[in-house]
Amino acid sequence: MNDWRYNDEKMKTRQNAYIILLKKFGDQLDDNGVPIYSMKNITECANDWVSQGNVRCDGIVSYFKAYYA
């Protein structure tokens, strides 16, 4: 399968997006120790970011806050 969404460049961008989102939102807990942001939202945001044609991760934190938080 030769899907443009999963070529080497897109996978590297997706990985960078995922790392940025995990560092920013992955360890935030509410008062009861429950994660505030789900891994599902973090993963979907990274995937959507790349699928929309972004080749850099500038702005992904703001994008996450606007659409997934």
- Nearest CA-CA partner of 57 in 10, 7, 3, 6: 10
| Residue range 18-26: mean pLDDT, rounded | 96
Among 18, 24, 2, 8, smallest CA distance to 57 is for 18
Report the pLDDT value the prediction gives residue 3, as an integer from 0 to 100: 75
Give the mean pLDDT of 32-44: 95
The predicted model gives 48-63 an average pLDDT of 96
pLDDT for residue 64 is more than 70: yes
